[in-house]
Structure 1
Amino acid sequence: MSNTVQSLEGEQITPLVLRDALGSFPTGVAIVTTIGEDGRPVGLTINSFSSVSLEPALVLWSLVNTSPSIQAFRGHGAFAINILRHDQGDLCMQFARPSDDKFADVNWSEGYKGVPVLDDVLVAFECETYKLIEGGDHEVYMGEIKRIHKTENHPLVFHRGKLSELAIAS
């Protein structure tokens, strides 16, 4: 492992360079879900999830402006963030790829304002959309948590372009 420092500035900070640098920060993996205008469930894999406030209970995530799902998230007014367990890599990939039915063979139940809540995830947050913020080539969705479902397990982690598990210290 190298300790060489590479400093970049200005035009050297391209989207590819930035994406690579941001990938150094390990994140959890989640699937955010809502209901489309046609009443069908909509979902996609994210790793842009963060807490914002404890009072009120607010979280945020972001969605690229060109996402085919953006109208569903803009229009429904509620969403669920389903944090994945360490052994749910296949589910992560199912929702990360384009598909006519990402919910095929996925067990879920209807949550707050009808949003899909995936069964057997590490944690699920059911949220009402609190605020939508323009953020460059993304929209930032801030949600007020209305319900939480949680289990005791280990999270799925994304780091440097790969899914992995946390090393659990003894």
Structure 2
Amino acid sequence: MISLPLVVEFLLLFLLNMAIGAFGFIPSFFVTTLNINSFGLAVGTFLSLSGEIFGAILGFYLYRLGFSKMNPAWRSHRFWQALQNQSVVRVFWSVIGLRLIPFVPSGLVTAGASLTAISAWGFAAASTIGKIPAVFLEIAVAYGYTQSLSAEYQYGILAAVLIICLIIWLMRKRKSARGKI
């Protein structure tokens, strides 16, 4: 029998995976590691893959909604015009190709696709096809990471990465505040 705390942990991790997939700018590696540590390789893989897929779909809708609320004048730039004039078939294959490249920010792909005529179903299919190999590669690396380092070291590395990101963010915020004066 599955315990309630385990179900709650699974649902919280699924929501976290979805949020990271929707934003698409936050690396999912550490959450993938957490998924594997918490639920093992098979369920952790399912959790990472489903969170990434549903998160990308959610992100697609959120970007479309957000772009529809913005002043449309920015779309007149030739870069955005060229993006919007792509055929649905070309966008479909571009999404697959860009999803296969590990270091292309997922949020850029999702945002770009949301500006085109591709349907949500077409985007979901292309995104899923492209994400499967990328997520399996991430799973392989995360699994090796979980097997070679103790949990204490993993949490230490995660804490160090979060602290470094926070410091960088604070420095940039301070620099931009100085620029406005």
**TM-score for both structures, normalised by structure 2:** 0.26
**TM-score for both structures, normalised by structure 1:** 0.27
More strand by share: 1
Structure index of larger Rg = 2
More helix by share: 2
